[in-house]
Amino acid sequence: MGTVAQDSGALTPRAADFPRWYQEVVAQAELAENGPVRGTMVIRPWGFAIWELLQSELDRRIKAAGAQNAYFPLFIPEQFLQLEASHVEGFKPELWVVTHGGGAPLEEPVVVRPTSETVVNHFFAKWIHSHRDLPLLINQWSNVVRWELRTRLFLRTSEFLWQEGHTAHATEAEASAYAVRILEDVYRDVTEGVMGIPTLVGHKTARERFAGAVRTWTCEGMMGDGKALQLGTSHELGDNFARAFGTTFSDPTGATRYVFQTSWGVSTRLVGGLIMVHGDDYGLRLPPALAPRHVVVMVVRAGESTGKAAAAVADDLASRGLRVHLDDRAEPSFGRRAIDWERKGVPVRVELGPREVAEGTAILVTRHDRAKTPVALAGLADAVVEALDTTARRLYQEALAFREARLRRVATVAEAIEAAASGFAVLPAASLDAGGEDRLAEAGVTVRCLQRDDGSLAPDDGDDLVAVVGRAY
């Protein structure tokens, strides 16, 4: 065909314009694009396959934590959102409202769920009677919508996909422990162990807390531009919703008591975080656990013997349990195809041309460092498996080194604002008293979390805590 596709030019370097680089990666790796209605998103097959892998890792851990999946309706009566006062204040400006159905106005408008908090609580109040009904541990995978003025694919969209957990417990202590368990065993384990994102954990200040929560636990990651992304939150709701919805149970003595609750969620926003942490100037770099294809076997120049050899290599790799794609297309050109797979972040490419076939070798290309190594076919499968292990480790190490280099321990709010221009600052939580958090906010800096000095979770807001602050998505 000869003509070079419009998108074949180099990406904008991250250092030159990070938001533009992000947009280009999302477009050129064919991850997602804007939907026709304001702020909505089409998740394309490559992007969705990443989300499916992430979903499956999360879902397995959520089930291991004892929660069961269920499904609650998309449409919520408008009046439900009035029931919990701080909750409704938090969500009112974000609602999409259905006023017509079946060709006529509805008697009562319905809200398209911004979260299922209220409808879940409506049913919890019906289902919970006795201490034997507790704990009730429910999770839902669904779409939710929120009105957004400025949207960015994956990071902030009017509609997004997520999981939302909702649980009810007999005691406050049990609810607190469960909220932390989800934060640690599900969210931190997936963001660090699967996504390879070094994750800071802690709780939010009152200002940053979820509307209706008494405590919000959070996982925070540093993106490639030094800004923070909230990766997942787990809320202790106390008995706020129980009182609003009348969710009570009879305890073993026969006394009627309110339940204590949690809710917790992560969303397709995680895919945005994955891109911004691991992407480089050549496109996406995927940790093997989230790569729809671990390895692409590429025929350099179409030819019968090369094609056969490549197919045999692909079969061999697949028999090792790897997710393999054979790219034996005659067009587009080899160079174009190699760039496309690189942009899509496939961890390993195996390139085979007539010369390699004649020599009984293949070129192994690792995406994370773009290194090309000739490998004898006999040892190829082992080399690929090793390259995948190395990729997972290196992506995490690079991200950790990047974060450490941009995280400064400071003593004052003024220093924190300065440090936040390029990364995170850690400062004594006590320095936020007397309007410190307001001064940060004026400079576009927020408290991402409060934690102990050693990075561990703190049970209370003590004077010994530190605040991690930064600019945030």
Residue numbers of the site for a copy of itself (CB under 8 A)?
A: 33, 35-38, 40-45, 48-49, 51-52, 68-77, 80, 92-103, 109-110, 112, 119, 122-123, 132, 138, 142-143, 145, 147, 149, 158-159, 161, 329, 331
* Lookup: tokens for 113: 């769920």
Measured from the CB atom, the residue of 250 and 422 that comes closer to a copy of itself is 250
Q: How far is the CB of 232 from a copy of itself (least distance, A)?
A: 20
- Return the bridge partners of 163, or none: 141, 266
78 vs 189 by CB, closer to a copy of itself? 78
CA distances from 3 to 11, 113, 434, 452 (A): 19, 47, 63, 58
β-pairing, 424-428 with 407-409?
A: parallel
Least distance in angstroms from the C-beta of 149 to a copy of itself: 8
SS3 458: coil
Residue in the block written with tokens 């605040």: 467
Q: Which is nearer to a copy of itself, 161 or 420 (CB)?
A: 161
Which residue's CB is nearer to a copy of itself, number 143 or number 373? 143
Report the nearest approach of a copy of itself to the CB of residue 388 (Å).
Answer: 22
- The smaller minimum CB distance to a copy of itself, of residues 135 and 470, is found at 135
Q: Quote the least distance from Cβ 438 to a copy of itself, whole Å.
A: 26
Least distance (Å) between residue 259 CB and a copy of itself: 17
CA dist 88 and 266 (Å) reads 21
97/173 with CB nearer a copy of itself: 97
Task: List all residues 6 or more positions away from 366 whose beta carbon is below 8 Å from its beta carbon.
Answer: 347, 348, 373, 387, 390, 391
Strand partners, 455: none
Q: Are 369 and 346 in contact (CB under 8 A)?
A: no
d(CA 300, CA 92): 56
Q: Which residues contact 240 (CB under 8 A, 6 or more apart)?
A: 84, 86, 212, 213, 214, 261
Q: Which is nearer to a copy of itself, 56 or 373 (CB)?
A: 56
**Closer residue to a copy of itself, CB minimum distance, 147 or 473:** 147
Q: Which of 113, 98, 110 is nearest to 145 (CA)?
A: 113
- With the CA atoms of 254, 123, 89 and 171 taken in that order, what torsion angle do they form, in degrees rounded to the nearest 10? 30
Q: How far is the CB of 238 from a copy of itself (least distance, A)?
A: 24
Tell me the closest approach of the beta carbon of residue 410 to a copy of itself, in angstroms.
38
Q: Looking at beta carbons only, is 109 or 354 nearer to a copy of itself?
A: 109
- How far apart are the C-alpha atoms of 473 and 230, rounded to whole Å? 8
Two tokens, residue 11: 């990406």
Query: What whole-number distance in Å separates Cα of residue 298 and Cα of residue 30?
Result: 19
Shortest Å, Cβ 302 to a copy of itself: 14
Residue 84 CB, nearest approach to a copy of itself (Å) = 15
What gap in Å lies between CA 368 and CA 391, rounded to an integer? 6
| CA–CA dist 337, 314 (Å, integer) | 17
Enter the DSSP assignment of 3. P
Q: Whose Cβ is closer to a copy of itself: residue 2's or residue 93's?
A: 93
User: Measured from the CB of residue 367, what is the shortest distance to a copy of itself in angstroms?
Assistant: 21
Of 225, 199, 284, the residue nearest 406 (C-alpha): 225
